[in-house]
Amino acid sequence: MTSTVHEDVGSAGVTLSDEQVAEYHREGYLLLEPAFLGEALLSRLQDAVTDILQADGPQVVREKDDVTIRSVYGPHRDNLAVAEAARDTRLAGAARRLLDDVVYVHQSKLNVKAAFSGDRWDWHQDFVNWLRLDGIQRPDLVNVAVFLDDVSEFNGPLMICPRSHTNGLMPGRDREGMPEGYEDAPSWVSTLTSDEQYQLDPDGIRTMVERNGLISAKGRAGSLLFFHGNILHASLPNISPTDRKVLILVFNGMQNAPTEVPSPRPGFLAERPPVAVDSD
């Protein structure tokens, strides 16, 4: 991969304010207008989508119809625009401030939630998979999600339960076997489909939502959503005529690096060993 580094003057000195950092830690998420990311970086990432979707390998997870692409994992590893964005001060620099640690990319993915056919994401907390499957001990990872399409109430926005990140892992139970439609898929697909492997107890979800409410993370393309590894979230199927493509970079602190696990997941799902991102 040749590296022609794009000097994006727009990024110089762009960082989160103290109030934004405080809001993230209080609420468990932070949603920023497109101006923070800037037009240039957004269009570079939008232009990268065609290449990312042409990936043909185990990192591509399709919907139950076995046709529609649901997610492509690991674009930070083989797509130049995503690799550069992963080092950008507006993403990695922001993650470093939020985690108060040198950061690395634990996982990246393009979640397509395609028009008419993009399926749901059940209620879940991301951290449960990163603890049990990747041996990461603390939930302080931050999802940095770039909206590549306009996200409205019609095309399956993320629903987030504010302040649900501070009570640890919610009670639930594992689904028996592989999800329907993925019976012959590799075992690591089990936590990547519309039917969560770790199904949260409905009572726990109801209590949390009754107490804290829900927000819908809507915004124009270029919006930036930061959300905590323990935040309770979900999204509905997309029956609208517009895609809801979101590029998510999951940053973790080097002091929270993965510990040894019996069967490590593929590198496109969980980077090991971590390689620190040198961001200012």
State how far the Cα of 60 lies from the Cα of 54, in Å rounded to an integer.
9
Upper half-sphere CA count for residue 190 (Cβ side, 13 Å) = 17
158 binds ligand 6CS (CB under 6 A): no
Q: What angle do CA 63, 67, 68 make, to 5 degrees?
A: 55
Q: Give the nearer residue to ligand 6CS in terms of CB position, either 24 or 73.
A: 73
User: Which of ligand 6CS, Fe ion, none has residue 119 at its interface (CB below 5 to 8 Å by kind)?
Assistant: none
211 CA to centre of own chain: 25
Q: Give the nearer residue to ligand 6CS in terms of CB position, either 11 or 98.
A: 98
State how far the Cα of 55 lies from the Cα of 231, in Å rounded to an integer.
30
Pick the closest to residue 203 from 133, 123, 126 (CA basis). 123
Backbone φ/ψ region at 111: left (φ over 0), alpha (ψ -120 to 50), beta = beta
Which segment (50-58, 94-102, 123-131, 218-226) binds ligand 6CS by CB under 6 A?
Answer: 123-131
Cβ pair 267, 164 in contact under 8 A: no
Q: Which of 192, 217, 232, 257 binds ligand 6CS (CB under 6 A)?
A: 192
| Backbone CA torsion sign across 11, 111, 164, 155 | positive
Contact characters 127-156, ligand 6CS, x per CB under 6 A: --x---------------------------
Q: Give the nearer residue to ligand 6CS in terms of CB position, either 38 or 271.
A: 271
Q: Give the nearer residue to ligand 6CS in terms of CB position, either 112 or 269.
A: 269
126 binds Fe ion (CB under 5 A): yes
Q: Which of 119, 126, 140, 149 binds ligand 6CS (CB under 6 A)?
A: 126
Contact characters 190-209, Fe ion, x per CB under 5 A: --------------------
42 CA to centre of own chain: 17
Binding site for Fe ion (CB under 5 A): 126
- In the complex, the residues that contact ligand 6CS under the rule CB under 6 A are 107, 124, 126, 129, 191-192, 196, 269
